[in-house]
Structure 1
Amino acid sequence: MFVIFGFGTKQKHLGPGETRTCPRCHNTTQWARMREYRQFTVFFIPVARWKRRRFEACGICGAAFAA
Protein backbone atom coordinates (compact mmCIF):
# COMPACT_ATOMS: atom_id res chain seq x y z
CA MET A 1 0.00 0.00 0.00
CA PHE A 2 1.28 3.43 -0.95
CA VAL A 3 0.12 6.52 1.01
CA ILE A 4 0.94 10.04 -0.15
CA PHE A 5 0.72 12.74 2.51
CA GLY A 6 2.00 16.27 2.94
CA PHE A 7 2.48 19.01 5.49
CA GLY A 8 3.10 22.68 4.83
CA THR A 9 2.20 26.35 5.10
CA LYS A 10 -0.13 27.94 2.56
CA GLN A 11 -0.75 31.62 1.86
CA LYS A 12 -3.78 33.06 0.09
CA HIS A 13 -4.05 36.58 -1.33
CA LEU A 14 -7.28 38.24 -0.10
CA GLY A 15 -7.02 41.48 -2.08
CA PRO A 16 -5.56 44.96 -1.74
CA GLY A 17 -4.97 46.42 1.70
CA GLU A 18 -4.33 49.95 2.91
CA THR A 19 -1.83 52.38 1.44
CA ARG A 20 0.74 53.09 4.13
CA THR A 21 4.40 53.71 4.83
CA CYS A 22 6.41 50.62 5.70
CA PRO A 23 8.39 50.88 8.95
CA ARG A 24 11.04 48.53 7.54
CA CYS A 25 11.82 49.91 4.06
CA HIS A 26 10.23 53.40 4.50
CA ASN A 27 8.40 53.27 1.15
CA THR A 28 4.75 54.26 0.73
CA THR A 29 2.85 51.59 -1.19
CA GLN A 30 -0.40 49.63 -1.22
CA TRP A 31 -0.15 46.60 1.02
CA ALA A 32 -1.65 43.18 0.27
CA ARG A 33 -4.08 41.39 2.61
CA MET A 34 -3.08 37.77 3.13
CA ARG A 35 -4.27 34.67 4.99
CA GLU A 36 -1.79 32.03 6.13
CA TYR A 37 -2.42 28.59 7.58
CA ARG A 38 -0.70 25.26 8.11
CA GLN A 39 -2.29 22.16 6.67
CA PHE A 40 -1.96 18.39 6.50
CA THR A 41 -2.98 16.64 3.27
CA VAL A 42 -3.58 13.02 2.27
CA PHE A 43 -3.62 12.24 -1.46
CA PHE A 44 -3.56 16.04 -2.13
CA ILE A 45 -6.81 16.58 -0.16
CA PRO A 46 -6.57 18.94 2.86
CA VAL A 47 -7.49 17.00 6.01
CA ALA A 48 -6.64 19.47 8.80
CA ARG A 49 -5.80 23.19 9.00
CA TRP A 50 -4.49 25.10 12.00
CA LYS A 51 -2.58 28.28 13.00
CA ARG A 52 -4.73 30.49 10.81
CA ARG A 53 -3.81 34.18 10.77
CA ARG A 54 -4.56 37.27 8.70
CA PHE A 55 -1.98 39.93 8.00
CA GLU A 56 -1.00 42.69 5.59
CA ALA A 57 2.31 42.53 3.73
CA CYS A 58 4.36 45.36 2.19
CA GLY A 59 4.35 45.21 -1.61
CA ILE A 60 8.05 46.07 -1.84
CA CYS A 61 9.99 44.36 0.96
CA GLY A 62 7.39 41.81 2.13
CA ALA A 63 7.33 42.90 5.78
CA ALA A 64 4.16 41.55 7.41
CA PHE A 65 2.10 42.95 10.26
CA ALA A 66 -1.14 41.71 11.85
CA ALA A 67 -4.23 43.22 10.27
Structure 2
Amino acid sequence: MAKVNVYISNEVHGKISAIVEKRRQEGARDKDISFSGTASMLLELGLRVYEAQMERKESAFNQTEFNKV
Protein backbone atom coordinates (compact mmCIF):
# COMPACT_ATOMS: atom_id res chain seq x y z
CA MET A 1 0.00 0.00 0.00
CA ALA A 2 1.41 3.38 -0.97
CA LYS A 3 1.92 6.09 1.62
CA VAL A 4 0.80 9.57 0.56
CA ASN A 5 0.86 12.87 2.43
CA VAL A 6 -2.12 15.06 1.63
CA TYR A 7 -3.00 18.52 2.88
CA ILE A 8 -6.68 19.01 3.68
CA SER A 9 -8.65 21.94 5.01
CA ASN A 10 -9.57 22.16 8.67
CA GLU A 11 -13.21 21.73 7.64
CA VAL A 12 -12.51 18.42 5.87
CA HIS A 13 -10.39 17.26 8.81
CA GLY A 14 -13.26 18.01 11.17
CA LYS A 15 -15.76 16.13 9.01
CA ILE A 16 -13.56 13.04 8.77
CA SER A 17 -12.93 13.15 12.52
CA ALA A 18 -16.69 13.36 13.10
CA ILE A 19 -17.24 10.25 10.95
CA VAL A 20 -14.58 8.36 12.91
CA GLU A 21 -16.03 9.49 16.24
CA LYS A 22 -19.56 8.52 15.20
CA ARG A 23 -18.40 5.04 14.15
CA ARG A 24 -16.63 4.62 17.51
CA GLN A 25 -19.79 5.65 19.35
CA GLU A 26 -21.66 3.04 17.31
CA GLY A 27 -19.32 0.41 18.71
CA ALA A 28 -16.41 0.22 16.27
CA ARG A 29 -13.15 -0.68 17.95
CA ASP A 30 -10.04 1.49 17.56
CA LYS A 31 -8.38 -1.17 15.42
CA ASP A 32 -11.45 -1.29 13.14
CA ILE A 33 -11.76 2.44 12.47
CA SER A 34 -9.08 5.09 12.04
CA PHE A 35 -8.70 8.53 10.54
CA SER A 36 -6.36 7.18 7.87
CA GLY A 37 -8.64 4.30 6.93
CA THR A 38 -11.69 6.56 6.76
CA ALA A 39 -9.86 9.16 4.66
CA SER A 40 -8.66 6.42 2.31
CA MET A 41 -12.20 5.04 1.96
CA LEU A 42 -13.56 8.51 1.15
CA LEU A 43 -10.80 9.10 -1.40
CA GLU A 44 -11.56 5.78 -3.12
CA LEU A 45 -15.27 6.60 -3.15
CA GLY A 46 -14.59 10.02 -4.66
CA LEU A 47 -12.37 8.45 -7.31
CA ARG A 48 -15.13 6.01 -8.27
CA VAL A 49 -17.61 8.88 -8.59
CA TYR A 50 -15.14 10.85 -10.72
CA GLU A 51 -14.48 7.87 -13.01
CA ALA A 52 -18.21 7.22 -13.41
CA GLN A 53 -18.77 10.86 -14.37
CA MET A 54 -15.96 10.76 -16.92
CA GLU A 55 -17.29 7.51 -18.39
CA ARG A 56 -20.77 8.99 -18.66
CA LYS A 57 -19.36 12.11 -20.32
CA GLU A 58 -17.47 10.04 -22.93
CA SER A 59 -20.39 7.79 -23.75
CA ALA A 60 -23.12 10.41 -23.60
CA PHE A 61 -25.90 10.17 -26.15
CA ASN A 62 -25.12 12.34 -29.18
CA GLN A 63 -28.29 13.38 -31.02
CA THR A 64 -26.35 14.72 -34.04
CA GLU A 65 -24.55 11.41 -34.57
CA PHE A 66 -27.81 9.51 -34.09
CA ASN A 67 -29.54 11.64 -36.74
CA LYS A 68 -26.83 10.80 -39.30
CA VAL A 69 -27.78 7.11 -39.20
Bin the TM-score by the shorter chain.
Answer: under 0.3
The structure having more radius of gyration, on CA atoms, is 2
User: Using CA pairs below 8 Å that are at least 6 residues apart, which structure has the higher relative contact order?
Assistant: 1
Structure 1 or 2: more strand by fraction = 1
Structure 1 or 2: more helix by fraction = 2
Q: TM-score by structure 2 length? A: 0.20
